[in-house]
Amino acid sequence: MERVYNFSAGPGVLPLPVLEQARDEMVAYGDSGMSVMEMSHRSKPYMAIITKAEALLRELMNIPDNYAVLLLQGGASLQFSMVPMNLLTDPTQQSVDYVITGSWSEKAHGEAKKQRVEVRVAATTKGVNYSRIPTQAELTLNPEAAYVHITSNNTIFGTEYDYTPETGTVPLVADISSNVLSRPMKIARYGLLYAGAQKNLGPSGVTVVIVRRDLLGRRTDLPQMLDYKIHADNGSMFNTPPTYAIYILGLVLQWTKDQGGVVAMEQRNIRKAGKLYTAIDQSAFYQCPTEKGSRSRMNVPFTLANAELDSVFLAEAKQAGLVTLAGHRSVGGMRASLYNAMPEEGVDALIGFMADFERRHG
Ligand SMILES: Cc1ncc(COP(=O)(O)O)c(C=O)c1O
């Protein structure tokens, strides 16, 4: 069967060479005579796989040595709880700042509140239906906060920070699930970053946490599986890690490096998203609900002039091999996710289809 152009917000498109290599190595990996799925996580070939994956991530993201890289389970959603659990010393006496820019930051904020800490909203753009990112000047930051939490790219609403918030000595924590590896990030500006893998990193099942080492070990009363320090001290091998997902992560990282790394990815992403936004802005039929300075390069939401045509658009797009374009159920309309592995030809095909659809239905 032909492959389609998959605009899913996540799990999202993976690079074809990665899938082909995984297929070729599925039954017998290297000279091991077994699948990676069947391998002990402490075996020599597997240790080589996980060590290389971490090294590639460190190289691609330019992660300084004083940061630990953890490969965990539980998705980005578990990080909504692990972040406050690990970074606070005495929740009842402390305060944390959350910048709310969409559904995922709302969820992160909600989970932090359960830790019985004072959770301040440093800014929210809910009033404008999350159509933009607040500016630095709009952030009312508490200099005494234990940390400041942001969502660097809002997968559902299609907005993205084009600056790194300045938080002084307060550690900045970022959910980078949907724009990790899409652009360079200055790791040293953050205390902690986390991402579920299923967009730019690989399949679901592995979650990457990058944490400054001095933030580890603040609490000694946590369940072991929820304690960053335990995972850091054990090289992400405290228990059985998600072995196959980490293997695919390694392949995706190698592919990203072969493409020229994060700088090359950014240039390609600027081009890809730029041409889709331009096509939408130049048309009277399509509209983009997000403000220009806040637009995401990864997730491009748009609406049709007549919402009754939505189902026709989706059906015809599918016929043309362009799939998973429906907007999130809480927003409606369309959303095209243009992760790193979406080839430029996929974006061109979508733009061509949209123009044709407008001619026939506009
Ligand atoms: C920005 C962001 N944060 C968190 C999540 C939740 O991730 P997970 O399903 O890995 O828990 C998602 C999922 O799409 C997301 O896009």
Report domain 17-258's class: alpha beta
Which of the listed residues 111, 149, 177, 199 should we mutate to test ligand 1's pocket, taking the one with most ligand atoms within 8 A of CB? 177
Domain assignments of the chain as residue spans, ordered by start: 17-258, 261-361
What would the DSSP string read from start to end of 44-106? HHHHHHHHHHHHHHHHHHT--TTEEEEEESSHHHHHHHHHHHHH-S-GGG-EEEEEE-SHHHH
**Residue 290 pLDDT:** 97
What would the DSSP string read from start to end of 283-294? -SSEE--S-GGG
- Give the largest CA-CA distance in the chain: 64
CATH number of 261-361: 3.90.1150.10
**Residue 182 pLDDT:** 98
Q: What is the pLDDT of residues 139-156, one digit of tens each?
A: 999 999 999 999 999 999
For ligand 1, is residue 10 a contact (CB within 6 Å)?
yes
CA distance 122 to 136: 10
Mean pLDDT of the chain: 97
**Residue 65 pLDDT:** 98
Q: Specify the DSSP class assigned to residue 167.
A: -
For ligand 1, is residue 178 a contact (CB within 6 Å)?
yes
Active site residue 255: no
How far away, in angstroms, is 274 Cα from ligand 1 center? Answer: 24
Which of the listed residues 77, 82, 161 should we mutate to test ligand 1's pocket, taking the one with most ligand atoms within 8 A of CB? 77
Q: What is the pLDDT of residues 156-172, one digit of tens each?
A: 999 999 999 999 999 99
**Residue 1 pLDDT:** 79
CA distance 280 to 351: 9
Please identify every stretch of the chain with a pLDDT value under 70, giving residue numbers as ranges.
Answer: none
For ligand 1, is residue 177 a contact (CB within 6 Å)?
yes
Are 66 and 212 spatial neighbours (Cβ–Cβ below 8 Å)? yes
Q: Determine which residue's CA is closest to atom 4 belonging to ligand 1.
A: 76
